[in-house]
Amino acid sequence: MPRLILLAAIAFVLYILFKRAQAAPPHKRRGEFIKLALGIAVVSVILLALAGKMHWIGVALTGALVALRALGPTLIRFFPLLASKLGQSQGASAGQSSTVATTILRMQLDHESGDLSGEVLAGRFEGWRLQDMDRSQLEELFAYCQREDADSERLLDSYLQQRFPGETDFGANQSPPNNDNGMTRKEALAILGVNEDASEEDIVAAHRKLMQKMHPDRGGNDYLAAKINQAKDLLLG
């Protein structure tokens, strides 16, 4: 009887972990299922070892593999070559995108292509990437933004206008953001995609480049254009 109770408890826990993996954002599901598979392997090895059907070497190897999987990201940081390449890659990409964040969304604008991408920060779809969401899910998210946060509503509308050009008007409030909303210098730098030590010329150049992509007269978006102007005014003020 105790063994049956143990097996039932293990099965219940594995079921909960499986449902959790299913509910994870699409780009995180693979990692969650890998964790689940490792958990199943560990439980199987422990049960076999307790039943005397597995040598202790097999148990040790399984434990080592699990530990390696868990410590992998930390170990990588100790390899100077990989760390330096990572730093070079991050440095090369610096200033090539802008970030605008609200209570519910974080949106990135690629400077070269003008493409928008984003991640949900709150609500039922927390952790999801916008590009992984279908039309009905985006409409549900949009309705949530309408109820909870006007800036998130306008920001999501910017993405929807680009993803579904000319198909529909999602009905966002298109008034510009409030200039007294307390934008910080850090946020302004992220919006223009410049570094802390950026010169006035760098700021003006970044602003000009972004406005060429996002100005309403060029098919851009009123809300993002207003945020870009606000960021420039703050940094040069």
Higher pLDDT, 126 or 23: 126
C-alpha dihedral (30, 141, 118, 152), degrees to nearest 10? -150
- Ordered by start, the domain boundaries in the chain are 2-84, 95-236
User: pLDDT by residue (tens digit) across 100-149?
Assistant: 899 999 999 888 887 889 999 999 999 999 999 999 999 999 999 999 99
**Nearest 5°: phi and psi at 59?**
-65, -45
**Range of weakest confidence among 22-26, 102-106, 116-120, 176-180:** 176-180
Contacts of 104 (CB under 8 A, 6+ apart): 120, 121, 122, 123, 144, 145, 148, 149, 152, 156
Lookup: tokens for 38 = 């490792």
- pLDDT single digits (tens) 7-18: 677 777 777 877
Cα angle, residue 166 at apex, residues 162 and 172 outer, rounded to 5°: 70
Query: What is residue 125's predicted lDDT score, i.e. its pLDDT?
Result: 92
The encoded tokens of residue 211 equal 């406005």
Q: Are 201 and 192 in contact (CB under 8 A)?
A: no
Is residue 21 within 8 Å of residue 36, measured between CB atoms?
yes
Mean pLDDT for 198-215 is: 86
Which of 25-29, 176-180, 218-222, 232-236 is predicted with the least confidence, judged by mean pLDDT? 176-180
pLDDT score of 87 more than 80: no
**Segments of 45-183 assigned E as strands:** 97-101, 105-110, 116-120
CATH fold, domain 95-236, is Helix Hairpins (1.10.287)
| pLDDT number for residue 9 | 76
Long-range contacts of the stretch 4-11 (C-beta < 8 A, 24+): 10/43
C-alpha radius of gyration, the chain, whole number:
24
Average pLDDT score over the chain: 76
**Has residue 182 got a pLDDT over 80?**
no
Q: Would you give the DSSP letter of residue 219?
A: T
Percent of the chain with pLDDT over 90: 26
